Structure 1
Amino acid sequence: MSLFNKAYAEATGGAFVLRIEDTDRVRYVADSEQQIFDTLRWVGLPWNEGPDVGGPYAPYRQSERLDTYRPFVEKLLASGHAYYCWCSTERLAGLRAEQQASKASVTGYDRLCLGKTREERAVLSGFSETPVVRMLIPDDAPLTFTDVIRGEVNAPRPDDQVILKADGFPTYHLAVVVDDHLMGITHVVRGEEWISSTPKHILLYEFLGLTPPAFAHMPLLRNTDKSKISKRKNPAARLVWFREQGYLPEALRNFLQLLAYPPVGDSEVATFDEFVAGFDWAKVNTVGPIFDLKKLDWLNGEYIRALAPVELAVRIVEHLEFTGEWAEATDAQRELLRRATPLIQERLGVLSEALPKLAFLFTADADLVVADDARAQLGANAAEVLDASIAALEALEPFAADEIQAALRAALVDGLGLKPRFAFGPVRVGITGSRVSPPLFESMELLSRESSLTRLRALRATL
């Protein structure tokens, strides 16, 4: 939703407003606000107004605006569009259970408190000392509204929604109506799960004599099996997960565009500015898009390969510091990674794959561990191959990739008569500890002659 909010604001010269809607104190998580700030900035969707940047309608946290809502509640009570409800949570739970058991055609609050004074309600069962305030839904409540994306939309009839809770906090329904009005919001972009609540919001605007904004309800994302994505079951429902996995923010942004919007031009790879330039709500797909990570993996690879190697190296370091794999990169680590990045760029899918592919370069010679599968594939002639390789490299000058390749080819292919595809296997295992690695000769140049010879001799000593 933030992506399309931001795109429309950019396309029309408007403001993208970030408001923290934290009136549900039961579900409040202390560090969630900072996570929202960090992840939205990381993905490249900064806001024009918000809690941390200010703006003409501050404060932008609803928990700091409680005095703002009370006059609107009083106006609704005075006009008869709202009423106090003293029903206890136990009574309401029993009412829901009874309606479910009887499969009642009409569900929701039964209006026991409507028209009663506190004293009249107190003599009945299920009484709570602290009331809530409910809006009174008229029998002829309009259930159809015009959606910017979907056109005419029909919604189910709402029940008498709580708009002010017993703790003095407004519910989402009242708070967003009041704030959208006071903050001059022209377009509300949200998920389609809020379609059923829109009649309540439109009624509140009507009751308060306010003009409602335009509503645009985006489709919900679906798993590959068409089921709804769950934050509890699918880690990819958390934006920070993509950063943890090493996706590039511009690739993720491009991927999210494509989920509900056709490609910009002839290519699926498009910048945010290109997306904004031709933005049109009519192009938004209302059918629940499939969240296919394979598509994102492909896009991420495209963006990785398009980066200059030095920029990619910077991104990799930032990722390693973010995940804590490198607390703080040293100058030596940065320089070695910069030189090694071209060796893996074409084979890199996400940033998190970089360090495992290059781990042997950042491992002390004495700490290098030869993997069991790599050791198992060493042939009977491995000792002979290593002896010849060591002899060929000891006096090699300069110790550069082309010279290393020529020296080893002369010693192993020409000298021992080995086929190239088999000749360098023991050398690779000795240098990297693995069967598969980045280009061998370039890796040896990065390690240096001393380190390369130390590793080859160490493997040879075990044979």
Structure 2
Amino acid sequence: MTVKTRFAPSPTGYLHVGGARTALYSWLYAKSQGGEFVLRIEDTDIERSTQEAVDAILEGMKWMGLDWDEGPYYQTKRFDRYNEMVDQLLAEDKAYKCYASKELLDEIRAEQEANKEMARYDANHPKIVAVNEAATDGEPCVIRFRNPKEGTVVFEDQIRGRIEIANSQLDDLIIRRTDGSPTYNFCVVVDDWDMGITHVVRGEDHINNTPRQINIYQALGAPVPTFAHCAMILGDDGAKLSKRHGAVSVMQYRDEGYLPNALNNYLVRLGWSHGDQEIFSPEEMIEFFSLDGISKSASAFNTDKLLWLNNHYIKTSEPEYVAKYLQWHLDAQEISLANGPAITDVIALVGERCNTLIEVAQQSRYFYEDFSEFEAGAAKKHLRGVAKGPLELALSKIEALTEWSTENLHGVIEAVCAELEIGMGKIGMPLRVAVTGGGQSPSVDAVMQLIGQERVIARIKMALAFIAEREANA
């Protein structure tokens, strides 16, 4: 048997963290088993579904690297198939027409609650029987699935173990509305059957749907997939993850400067484990992933841990990989790479200090753009009269260099310290402010090497002019 999984979001909103983790688990299980992964857009809620949401889901999946083998399928393009199956169940007396109005059903439900009975649809209720017997062909009606009245539905959840639900707790759910459109619980069954889905990985909020769907699979004579229902994700405060925790969209994490590998690594560990291992390459995730490694318990989202992981991936990933995702942020900050070093060299130098790609972009700017002003605090502290002599000596030695290398620039700094008998900070910090415009950067010799000799000379001269003006105004 070829394992086949699916991710089936409703396009009524963006791809959020919970949906992204479900997609990742489903994708990983298919890949770990040498199987196939299907993307299906469940857009039967026509009023709330939008093309914008569809585009956001597809964009999020592509950004995460969750490629699909089939799809995307759209349920709204399969209505003829669903109606064919509804008509088949009607012909086999496994479904029936119901003419009861919403008002009547609300009235019956109120009576049941007043009598402290379980509020549910009852096809044998006298008022419903009377309405159905009095109806004539052509009147608006829904089609209801004739759910078994005896026995139980039993399934072995791959995460939660054995689950058993009595059929007496399940009512005859609507499978086609009065406007002729099929409903969610019916469509997914037909889809999973037609698409050969063997394993359904989804959130625990679907557990109540599963017994209803199993009865429909069996009524259609379709094979029943294996189910795995994942626990919810909580916020740092223990409440269900929501917009107020910042969990709006997966693409928000791109916008905030996270790498896909960092987010995927974080999400896979948010409810799944493989021993004590925390860091997983994409290849290791596929190799080690299993459904029985998923926890039954809810997981808490921890932004600090995600940031730590992101810093790890910025530091340890190939610079070419980081550069691929950094470009979006360079464009957003209007940083052109036309005049400067290879961005991969800059990433290798500044990445160690950065938690996000936004920071990498910010710390890349001075390699590509000249500036006309120094950071006020750094200039006040380090571009003073006492720095004039060290900077002038460093400038003369830098101008004389015939081979521009980090080693030679380090030698210049050491020579200035030796000749003037000063500590490294007396020349290192003024140089840093002079060539970067601020007081924070990686090793200044490596920074100068990437900025280039001509620009370094011009910036030191600008710093000396700043000091001269400062002294003149003192």
The structural deviation recorded for 1:21 is: 1.1
Deviation at 1:371, TM superposition (A): 2.0
The answer on whether the counterparts of 2:259 and 2:310 sit within 8 Å (CA) in structure 1 is yes
Residue in 2 that maps onto 1:11: 32
Q: Which of 239, 244, 253 lines up with 1:242 in the alignment?
A: 253
Q: CA deviation at 1:343?
A: 1.3
- 1:410 to 1:20, Cα distance in 2 relative to 1, 3 A: same
- What are the ranges of 5 or more consecutive residues in structure 1 without an aligned counterpart? 52-59, 123-128
Query: Does the aligned pair in 1 maintain the 2:329–2:357 contact within 8 Å?
Result: no
Distance 1:13-1:409 versus aligned 2 partners, 3 A rule: closer
> 2:29–2:289: 8 Å Cα contact kept in structure 1?
yes
Mapped pair 1:184 → 2:196: yes
| In structure 1, C-alpha distance between the alignment counterparts of 2:428 and 2:178, rounded to whole Å | 75
Question: How far did 1:69 drift?
Answer: 0.7
Which residues in structure 2 correspond to 1:209-288 (within 5 Å)? 209-230=221-242, 232-236=243-247, 238-263=249-274, 267-288=277-298
Amino acid in the other structure paired with 2:87: E
Deviation (angstroms), 1:38: 3.2
Q: How does 1:318-397 map to 2 (within 5 A)?
A: 318-321=325-328, 324-325=331-332, 332=339, 335-364=341-370, 367-378=371-382, 379=384, 381-397=386-402
1:5-44 Cα distance to aligned partner (Å, 9 max, x none) = 2233233333211111111112212033333333323323
C-alpha RMSD of the superposition: 3.4
Distance in 2 between the 1:426 and 1:176 partners? 66
Amino acid at match of 2:365: A
Counterpart CA distance in 1 for 2:114 and 2:454 is: 82
SS of match in other structure, 1:18: strand
Q: Does 1:81 align with 2:95?
A: yes
1:55 matched to which residue of 2? none
Which residue identity lines up with residue 356 of structure 2 in the other structure? V
Query: 1:292-331, aligned counterparts within 5 Å?
Result: 292-309=302-319, 311-312=320-321, 315-321=322-328, 324-325=331-332
Tell me if structure 1 keeps the 8 A contact 2:339–2:368: no
- Pick from 396, 401, 405: which aligns with 2:406? 401
Counterpart code for 1:228: K
User: What is the match of residue 57 of structure 1?
Assistant: none
Provide the residue aligned with 1:56 in structure 2.
Answer: none
Q: Which moved more, 1:295-304 or 1:432-441?
A: 295-304
Change (3 A) 1:280 1:399: closer
Give, as a single letter, the amino acid of the residue that structure 1 aligns with 2:328.
Answer: E
Q: How is 1:97-116 mapped onto 2 (pairs within 5 angstroms)?
A: 106-108=118-120, 114-115=128-129
Q: Does 1:194 align with 2:206?
A: yes
Match of 2:81 among 65, 68, 74: 68
Q: 1:189 to 1:431 in 2, by over 3 A?
A: same
Of the structure 1 ranges 20-29 and 201-210, higher mean CA displacement relative to structure 2 is found in 201-210
- Structure 2 counterpart SS, 1:16: strand
1:176-222 per-position Cα deviation (integer Å, ceiling 9, x unaligned): 01111222222111111100111211222233343322211112222
CA distance in 2, matches of 1:418, 1:99: 91
Partner of 2:9: none
CA distance in structure 1 between the aligned counterparts of 2:385 and 2:356, rounded to whole angstroms: 37
Q: Which moved more, 1:148-157 or 1:178-187?
A: 148-157
Structure 1 letter corresponding to 2:347: T
Amino acid at match of 1:410: A
Mapped to 1, the partners of 2:327 and 2:338 lie a distance apart of 14
> Does residue 56 of structure 2 align to residue 35 of structure 1?
yes
Q: How far off its partner does 1:354 sit? A: 1.2
Distance in 1 (CA, whole Å) between partners of 2:460 and 2:141 is 79
Q: Deviations over 1:386-437 (max 9, x none)?
A: 44443443334334333233323433x3344432234322221121111111
Looking at structure 1, the residues matched to 433 and 108 of structure 2 have their Cα atoms a distance apart, in angstroms, of 70
CA distance in 2, matches of 1:319, 1:142: 54
Q: Distance in 2 between matches of 1:101 and 1:389?
A: 87
Identity %: 31
Separation of aligned partners in 2, 1:103 and 1:25:
37
Unaligned runs of 5+ in 2: 1-21
SS at match of 1:163: strand
- Which residue in 2 is equivalent to 1:142? 152
- TM-score scaled by length of structure 1: 0.82
Q: Distance in 1 between matches of 2:190 and 2:99?
A: 21
CA shift in 2, pair 1:143/1:329, >3 Å:
farther
